[in-house]
Amino acid sequence: MTYVRRKAAKLRIKAHVLIIEARFYDELSDELAQGAIKVLEGAGASFERLAVPGALEVPGVIAKAARSRRYDGYVALGAVVRGETSHYDIVANESARGLMDLTMQGLSIGNGILTCENMEQARARAKVGEMNRGGAAAEAALRLIEIERAMKPSGKKG
């Protein structure tokens, strides 16, 4: 089985995706969501949006949503910006660990939770016209869905 990376703009996939937005920084969340939605719509995927207070809540919500079996994949969006305390490290590390644990359980998750030193970095990474990390997270989720479907058993025995 060979996989070739394709641009998401050319990817067409019938999938239903949940976008989970950590809304601690509304301006950044809106920009990340805009990028993700543009990619999902361009690929022909349907989606739902759900807001949570911050990045630490995102993995737990994905775990709950996965039990519903309503979604083919997930796009995790949010921003963690370094402050004056060690809280940044806890939120950045634990949200990433939670998402990775869920990915290792087989969920198709695009991680668009930014971890930045300052707001300038976060804005550049979120902005659709610049780094567009929301769009990149949606592309990752769609690609993982595609890979999962390609790896499903075909019923043939080797």
* Residues annotated as catalytic (active site), given as ranges: 87
How many CB atoms are closer than 10 A to CB 114?
Answer: 26
The two structure tokens encoding residue 122: 């976060």
Give strand pairing partners of 81.
116
Residues 6+ apart with CB under 8 A from 18: 47, 48, 49, 50, 62, 65, 70, 71, 73, 74, 75
Closest by alpha carbon to 39, among 3, 4, 73?
73
Measured CA to CA, the distance from residue 30 to residue 93 in angstroms comes to 23
